[in-house]
Amino acid sequence: MTSRSNSKGLRTHYASQLKDSVGKEVRIAGWVEDLRAKGSITFLTVRDVTGLAQAVFKRDELPEEEYSKLKKLTLQSVVSVRGIVGRSLSKKLEFEVKAKGLELVSKALHPLPLDPRGRIDAGLDKRLDSRALDLRNPKNLAIFKLRHALVQSIRAYLISNGFIEVSTPKLIGTATEGGADLFEVDYFGRKAYLAQSPQLYKEQLVMSLDRVFEMADYFRAEKSSTRRHLSEFYSVDVEAAFMDEEDVMGLLEGLIRKAIEDVSRECTEELKLLGVSLKVPEVPFERITYDEAVEELKALGVDKKVGDDLLDSDLKVLGSAHKGFYFITKWPVGLKPFYIERIKEEPEYTYSFDLQHGYLEIASGGRRVHDRAELERRLRECGLDVKGFEEHLKVFGYGMPPHSGWGLGLDRLMMVLTGRKNIREVTLYPRDRFRLVP
Ligand code: AMO
């Protein structure tokens, strides 16, 4: 991080930059983590986004009005400390600031709703109620620094594979993924919906842009309250002309490998704090067909037949037999959306896949229908109103290349990379059936 001062000159250095400034006068700024008086010396620890710094105040060496400011400080208040950087005798910190001056910038009003130092246990709900403060806890902050690295890695990977980043509407007139879990909104007196995915747009865009990706929030009115569903989730979507399902599965494998390599390299501190060690998975990932999954479940005593959906309980059973990343391929036509292509020789099945990590579904995708008549047939089969899709269908008459793609739940991938079991922990301000604030 480069050295910078803000307009008021409250900060010249971040905590992590003290090591390069021994003997120099600096200003550090952050929030009060601890305040300990030992005789005529007070130790003030200040945290900022980069870590912890200690400032040492000696009563004998400071004007009374400067030293007495310490009395007004409350934990978590924002302060700016001016002083000279020196080596520290503290076991935890190598450098410290021999304080010459102190400014209380913004006072934290007590009692605070939680202790961001994590010294008093707070449940997740309580933490989320005060998320802005909760993020001062280095472990929680580490999750979002890692998320940032992950997003950058994915973006760079897709761009290097020739994908163009796009942004599609989130207010839409027609359901994309079927009607069950749609949020309806009033759009100037007309019915509109919050987008469940960019599915139809991304398919249309391959006609001209060839390979597209979008990273954005999508909305599902999830009635069930689970540890891996949100009503607003962050999705990485790709769509590519002249690629088949195998091609985009390969792209997904490469993305996961690159993401784990990048995050492991760039987030060593964060992973240490989170207690996670990551291993770059071998490719190709294991592939089992849907039928094989059903057979496996039956052999394990689960009452299943071909055509049944794989329920949470089934995925838990499969997940304990298949650790790590694996694909479930070739789903029956009845279990996949209208835009997924049937296998010609086995019309009961589709060119489709889900990427799993143990029990957790991370992504799903497949080869798409690119023939208008077939798409209409599929819409009817799925019980959807063909007229409602006319805007989309007409595009198929402009010349539509064969194409494939997938959607990946970034929050879910974050759960895997950080070892967190609840999706709410890896989302800044999660939205679920019961939570709309903050
Ligand atoms: P699907 O509905 O399977 O496919 O969604 C793709 C991926 O998005 C994630 N996901 C969710 N994450 C958190 N909360 C939710 N409520 C939620 N819903 C979905 C999952 C899932 O695997 N259009 C297709 C993708 C495609 O074929 O390109 C689609 O949306 O990780």
**CB-based contacts of 373: which residues, under 8 Å, 6+ apart?**
none
Which ligand 1 atom sits closest to the C-alpha of 412?
Answer: 31
C-beta of residue 182 within 8 angstroms of C-beta of residue 194: yes
For β-strands 211-219 and 164-165, DSSP reports them as parallel
State percent of the chain over pLDDT 90.
93
234 Cα–ligand 1 center, Å: 9
C-beta of residue 328 within 8 angstroms of C-beta of residue 289: yes
pTM: 0.96
Nearest-5° angle of CA 160, CA 361, CA 422?
105
The arithmetic mean of pLDDT across residues 355-360, rounded, is 98
pLDDT of residue 3: 46
End-to-end CA distance of the chain: 30
Count CB neighbours of 131 within 10 A: 15
Q: What is the dihedral of CA 88, 91, 93, 97, to 10 degrees?
A: -30
**For residue range 286-318, what is the model confidence (pLDDT) as tens digits?**
999 999 999 999 999 999 999 999 999 999 999
pLDDT of residue 344: 94
pLDDT of residue 319: 96
381 Cα–ligand 1 center, Å: 22
Q: Is the CB of 214 under 6 A from ligand 1?
A: no
Which ligand 1 atom sits closest to the C-alpha of 176?
Answer: 23
Q: Is the CB of 364 under 6 A from ligand 1?
A: yes
- Judged against a pLDDT cut of 60, whether residue 6 lies above it is answered with no
52 Cα–ligand 1 center, Å: 39
**For residue range 371-400, what is the model confidence (pLDDT) as tens digits?**
999 999 999 999 998 998 999 999 999 999
| CA atoms of 129 and 126, how far apart (whole Å) | 5
- Judged against a pLDDT cut of 70, whether residue 359 lies above it is answered with yes
**For residue range 199-258, what is the model confidence (pLDDT) as tens digits?**
999 999 999 999 999 999 999 998 888 999 999 999 999 999 999 999 999 999 999 999
Query: Which run of H or of E encompasses 38?
Result: strand 25-38
| CA atoms of 37 and 58, how far apart (whole Å) | 10
Task: Tally helices (H) and strands (E) across the chain.
Answer: 12, 16
Reference 17, options 8, 29, 7, 6; nearest CA is 29
* 3-state percent helix, strand, coil for the chain, nearest multiple of 5: 35, 30, 40
Confidence category of residue 120, pLDDT binned at 50, 70, 90: confident
Going by CA atoms, what residue is nearest to atom 8 of ligand 1?
Answer: 409
User: For residue 402, how many C-alpha atoms fall within 13 Å in the half-sphere facing its CB?
Assistant: 10
**For residue range 164-214, what is the model confidence (pLDDT) as tens digits?**
999 999 999 877 776 678 999 999 999 999 999 999 999 999 999 999 999
pLDDT of residue 333: 97
- Judged against a pLDDT cut of 70, whether residue 323 lies above it is answered with yes
Confidence category of residue 4, pLDDT binned at 50, 70, 90: very low
Q: Is the CB of 362 under 6 A from ligand 1?
A: yes
